[in-house]
Amino acid sequence: MPQYNVNERVLDTLMAYLLKHYPQLKKLGADGPVVQRIEACTRDKGFASNDSLAWSSELAGDKSTNTIQAGAATQDTSTDFTKRPMHLHQASVIEQLIQVNQKLDMRLSIMEAKFYNKQQDTPTTNEVSINTESNEPPAKRRRTSGATNLKDVWFTWFTQEPRMWSPTDAGTKYARSTPKPVVAFLKLFLPDGFKLHEKSPRYRDEVLKIGEAAEVELLAYLRGQDITAREAQNF
């Protein structure tokens, strides 16, 4: 940025550290000016909060960005896994993802309540005739959804045609809102990352194998935190 006389590499480095510590900043103050500015810029570029959390997780796992922090870390934390920087960072990311999903679930519940109330106010002709004959109140509709394994969501995300994660496919925008945070959770538990080759004849098998490995690690972490969530609907 010539107008500020700042080297672009310096700006890139500062931005990387800002994104890396985005979960901690949001935890300290979700309404703070720094957090609000980051989220505004993210939305302006067409990305969601989950993307910022994914970038933060990617930067936290990059050895080149952890060199300074590794030298400053105290030695007594090496024996306690829960106090290691990477573990603390993952915990912050998971906490923010949980909050995002809680807000989405709350919005969905409000929309369902409005839709249900509207249906009650305008009953169909068949419902009116049945209720008149039986003199019984209409049965309440219950929200039902089949339980889905985490690895199944992972598999669908990477194999469904067209790809659910394709930003150019407007038709899947709503459909990908549910599995997207689940996939983001699972990626956090692949510390060595993963590579997929869509042209490979074993592509689908590789996707399923990686998803199963991530699911095992995620469920083990949840058991260690006394969290009983097991299905994709709980995230």
How does pLDDT run across 123-168, given as a tens digit for each residue? 555 554 555 555 555 555 544 444 578 888 888 888 887 766 565 5
Tens-place pLDDT, residues 73-126: 444 445 554 556 666 666 666 776 777 777 777 777 788 777 777 766 665 555
Query: What percent of the chain shows pLDDT beyond 70?
Result: 62
Q: What is the pLDDT of residue 72?
A: 47
Average pLDDT for the chain: 71
The crossing angle, in degrees rounded to 10, of helices 49-60 and 179-188 is: 10
Query: What percent of the chain shows pLDDT beyond 90?
Result: 2
What whole-number distance in Å separates Cα of residue 110 and Cα of residue 112?
5
With 0.85 as the threshold, say if the pTM is over it.
no
Q: What is the pLDDT of residue 129?
A: 53
Tens-place pLDDT, residues 212-226: 988 888 888 888 888
Mean pLDDT of 6-13: 78
Q: What is the pLDDT of residue 7?
A: 76
Residue holding tokens 């659910």?
A: 164
- Residue 205 pLDDT class (50, 70, 90 cuts): very high
pLDDT tops 50 at residue 68: no
Mean pLDDT of 47-73: 64
- Using a CB cutoff of 8 Å and minimum separation of 24, what contacts does 214-219 make? 214/150, 214/151, 214/154, 214/186, 214/187, 214/189, 214/190, 215/149, 215/150, 215/151, 215/154, 215/186, 217/189, 217/190, 218/150, 218/185, 218/186, 218/188, 218/189, 219/150
Q: What is the pLDDT of residue 35?
A: 81
